[in-house]
Amino acid sequence: MRKGRKLVIAVKCDYCKTETESFICDAQGLRFCRIQTPGYPPDKDCQSQHTRNKYVQKKEKDKGLFSQKEISF
């Protein structure tokens, strides 16, 4: 008997740009690494890092707009 080939899906992470077999997708279709042992916190979670950085950048951008408005008056 011959053994059939196993299908292995590997995608490129949109955050860290590495190929991974363990991934998750968000509503916008972005793919992120998520390496986790069940019952433990994730070893690598690019989605939470992406979301955190996106929030920080937005906050800094808003803060920069307020400082520019104060200077222009």
Q: How far apart are CA 51 and CA 54, in angstroms?
A: 5
Question: Average pLDDT of 45-71?
Answer: 77
For the chain, give every domain's residue range.
Answer: 11-72
Q: Would the pLDDT of 28 be above 60?
A: yes
Tokens of 58: 């937005």
Strands 19-20 and 23-25: unpaired
Q: Would the pLDDT of 2 be above 90?
A: no
pLDDT above 70 coverage of the chain, percent? 88
Question: Average pLDDT of 46-54?
Answer: 88
SS3 content of the chain, % helix, strand, coil (to 5): 35, 20, 45
First to last CA, the chain: 81
Q: What is the pLDDT of residues 7-26, one digit of tens each?
A: 888 899 999 999 999 999 98
* Sequence-ordered list of residues with C-beta below 8 angstroms from that of 69, at least 6 positions apart, any chain: none
Q: Would the pLDDT of 73 be above 60?
A: no
Neighbouring-strand partners of residue 20: 11
